[in-house]
Structure 1
Amino acid sequence: MKMQPHRGQITPLHLVVIALSFSVTFTIWQYTKHQTEIKVQQRFEASRDRIVGLIENRMARYEDALWAGVSAMDSQGGDMTLEQWRLFTEKMRIGDKYPGINGIGVIHYLRPDMLDAYLDARGIERDVFQIFPDHDSDHMMPISFIEPEAANSAAIGLDIAHETNRRNAALASRDTGYAQITGPIVLVQDASSTPGFLFYAPIYKEGPLDTLEQRRASFSGTVYAPFVVNRLMDGLLAKHLRHVSVSISDADEVIYDEHLTAEDLHDDNPMFAEQVTLDLYGRQWRLDIRTNLAFRHNNSDMQPVLFLIAGVLIEVLVIALIIMMARTNKKAVAYAEKVTDALRSEKEKLVKSNVELEQFAYVISHDLKTPIRGIAGLADMLKEDLEDYCSSKDANPEVTTAIDLIHDRVQRMNDLTSGILEFSCIRETYGKDSPLELTDFITSMIADLDLEPDQLVLDTPVQTLTTDTINLRRVLENLIGNAVKYHDGRTPLRIRVCVEDKGDTFAFSVADNGPGIDVRYHKKIFEMFQTLRTCDTPESTGIGLAVVKKSVELHGGRVEIISHPGEGATFSFHWPRNATAPPRESTAA
Structure 2
Amino acid sequence: MAHTAPHHKKISTLHMLVIGLSLAMTIGAWLYSKHQVDKQIEARFIASRDRTVDLIVDRMSRYEDALWSGVAHARSLSGELNARDWHTFSETLHIEEKYPGVNGIGFIHYVERADLPAYHEARSSEGRPIQIYPEHDLEYLLPITYIEPEAANAAAIGLDVAHETNRRTGLLASRDSGSARITGPIVLVQDSGNTPGFLFYTPLYAGEMPTTVAERRERFLGVVYAPFVVRKLVEGLLSKDLRDVRFSLSDGEAVIYDEHGPDEPLYDVDPMFTDTVVVDMYGRKWTVNLRTNLAFRAQNSSAQPSLILAGGLVIEILVISLLVMLSRSTKQAHSLARDLTAELRAKTKHLEKANAEIEQFVYVASHDLKTPARGIGFLVDVIEEELEDVLKSAQNRGELQMQLNMIRDRVARMNDLTKGIMEFSRVGHYGSEGEPRLPVSNLIEDCVADFEVDPKQVHLASDVSEIACDSHNFRRVLENLIGNAFKYHPHPRAAKVEVAIKDRGDRLTVSVKDDGNGIAPEFHDKIFDVFQTLRKGTEPESTGIGLAIVKKAIQRHGFDITVTSSEGHGAEFSFCWPKDRSQSSMDLENVA
Fold shared, TM-score > 0.5 on shorter chain: yes
**Paired residues, number:** 580
Tell me the equivalent position of 1:58: 59
Tell me what 1:251 maps to: 252
How far has the Cα of 1:511 moved from its partner? 3.0
1:139 corresponds to 2:132: no
RMSD of aligned Cα (Å)? 3.2
Give structure 1 stretches of 5+ with no counterpart: 584-589
In structure 2, the CA distance between the partners of 1:477 and 1:334, relative to structure 1 (3 Å rule), is: same
Which of 440, 443, 446 is 1:444 aligned to?
Answer: 446
Worse overlay, 439-448 or 470-479: 470-479
Give distance in 1, aligned partners of 2:286 and 2:196.
13
Q: State the alpha-carbon separation in 2 of the partners of residues 404 and 203 from structure 1.
A: 70
**Aligned counterpart, 1:70:** 71
User: Partner of 2:459 in structure 1?
Assistant: 457
The equivalent position to 2:562 in structure 1, one of 559, 564, 569, is 559
Q: CA deviation at 1:303?
A: 2.5
Amino acid at match of 1:188: V
Deviations 1:91-150 (A, max 9, x none): 111111111111111111122111111122223345552222222322221111111122
How do residues 361-380 of structure 1 correspond to structure 2 at under 5 angstroms?
361-366=363-368, 368-380=369-381
Give the whole-Å Cα distance in 1 for the aligned partners of 2:354 and 2:279.
Answer: 82
User: Which whole-Å CA distance do the structure 2 matches of 1:77 and 1:505 have between them?
Assistant: 122
* Superposition pairs of residues 298-447 of structure 1, within 5 angstroms: 298-345=299-346, 356-366=358-368, 368-383=369-384, 396=397, 399-427=400-428, 432=433, 433-447=435-449
* Cα displacement (A) at 1:580: 4.7
Greater CA deviation, 475-484 or 378-387? 378-387
3-state secondary structure, aligned to 1:559: strand
* Rounded Cα–Cα distance in structure 2 between residues aligned with 1:89 and 1:262: 38
Give the secondary-structure state (helix, strand or coil) at the position aligned to 1:447: helix
Q: CA deviation at 1:535?
A: 4.8
Q: Larger deviation: 81-90 or 468-477? A: 468-477
Give the direction of change, closer, same or farther, for the CA distance of 1:88–1:441 in structure 2 (3 Å limit): same
Aligned to 1:145, what secondary structure does the other structure show? strand
The reply on whether 1:19 has 2:20 as its aligned counterpart is: yes
The answer as to whether partners of 1:29 and 1:308 remain within 8 angstroms in 2 is yes
* Partner Cα distance (1:514, 1:315) in 2: 39
1:28-427, aligned counterparts within 5 Å? 28-125=29-126, 127-207=128-208, 209-345=210-346, 356-366=358-368, 368-383=369-384, 396=397, 399-427=400-428
Q: Does structure 2 conserve the Cα–Cα contact (< 8 Å) formed by 1:428 and 1:471?
A: no
Distance 1:7 1:429, change over 3 A: closer
CA distance in 1, matches of 2:527, 2:249: 69
| Cα deviation, residue 16, structure 1 | 3.3
Q: Please tell me the residue identity of whatever aligns with 1:268.
A: V
Contact 1:207 1:218 (C-alpha < 8 Å) held by counterparts: no
What secondary structure does 1:188 align onto? coil
**CA gap 1:279/1:523 in 2 versus in 1, 3 angstroms:** farther
**Which has the higher mean CA deviation after the structures are superposed, 544-553 or 452-461?**
544-553
Can you list the C-alpha shifts for 1:351-371, whole angstroms capped at 9, x where unaligned?
9965752332232123x1222
Aligned partner of 2:544 in structure 1 is 542
SS at match of 2:266: coil
Cα 1:481–1:356, aligned 2, differ >3 Å: closer, same or farther?
farther
* 1:328-384, Cα deviation, whole Å (9 max, x unpaired): 334334433432343343689989965752332232123x12222222333344455
Deviation at 1:187, TM superposition (A): 1.4
2:245/2:290 contact within 8 Å kept: yes
Q: Deviations over 1:448-479 (max 9, x none)?
A: 22333223331333323334444432222112
How far is the alpha carbon of 1:31 from its aligned partner?
3.2
Matching residue within 483, 486, 500 for 2:485: 483
The letter for the 1-side match of 2:40 is K
Q: Indicate whether 1:529 and 2:531 are aligned.
A: yes
Of stretches 131-140 and 198-207 in structure 1, the one that deviates more from structure 2 is 131-140
CA positional deviation for 1:71:
0.4
Residue 273 of structure 1 aligns with an amino acid whose one-letter code is T
Q: Secondary structure of 1:151's partner?
A: coil
Residue 586 of structure 1: aligned partner: none
Offset from partner CA, 1:254-276 (integer Å, 9 cap, x none):
11111111111111121221111
Asked whether the 8 Å contact 2:518–2:571 carries over to 1, the reply is no
2:590 corresponds to: none
Q: Matches of 2:519 and 2:133 in 1, distance apart?
A: 98
Q: Distance in 2 between matches of 1:515 and 1:63?
A: 78
State the partner residue of 1:497.
Answer: 499
The structural deviation recorded for 1:552 is 4.5
Asked whether the 8 Å contact 2:344–2:351 carries over to 1, the reply is: no
Following superposition, the deviation at residue 505 of structure 1 comes to 4.8
The verdict on how the C-alpha distance between 1:256 and 1:388 changes in structure 2, with shifts beyond 3 A counting, is closer
Structure 2 counterpart SS, 1:149 = coil
Which one is further off, 210-219 or 375-384? 375-384
- Contact map agreement 1:8 1:329 (CA 8 A) in 2: no
CA distance in 1, matches of 2:397, 2:13: 35
Deviation at 1:386, TM superposition (A): 5.6
Change (3 A) 1:577 1:332: closer
Distance 2:212 2:491 in 1: 78
Report the CA distance between 1:230 and its aligned residue: 0.9
CA contact (8 A) 1:557 1:575 kept: yes
Q: State the AA in 2 paired with 1:70.
A: V
Which has the larger displacement, 50-59 or 376-385?
A: 376-385
For 1:406 and 1:562, locate their aligned partners in 2 and report how far apart those are by CA, in whole Å: 36
CA distance in 2, matches of 1:416, 1:456: 29
The 3-state SS of whatever aligns with 2:171 is: helix
The answer (yes or no) to whether the contact 1:549–1:559 under 8 Å persists in 2 is no
Q: Counterparts of 1:333 and 1:577 in 2: how far apart (Å)? A: 30
Q: C-alpha separation between the residues in 1 aligned to 2:140 and 2:33?
A: 67
Cα distance in 2 between the residues matched to 1:444 and 1:125: 113
Identity %: 46
Give the Cα separation in 1 of the matches to 2:510 and 2:342. Answer: 39
* Kept after mapping to 1: 8 A contact 2:500/2:512: yes
Whole-angstrom distance in 2 between the partners of 1:292 and 1:266: 5
Q: What's the TM-score, normalizing by structure 2?
A: 0.88
Give 1:442 shift: 0.7
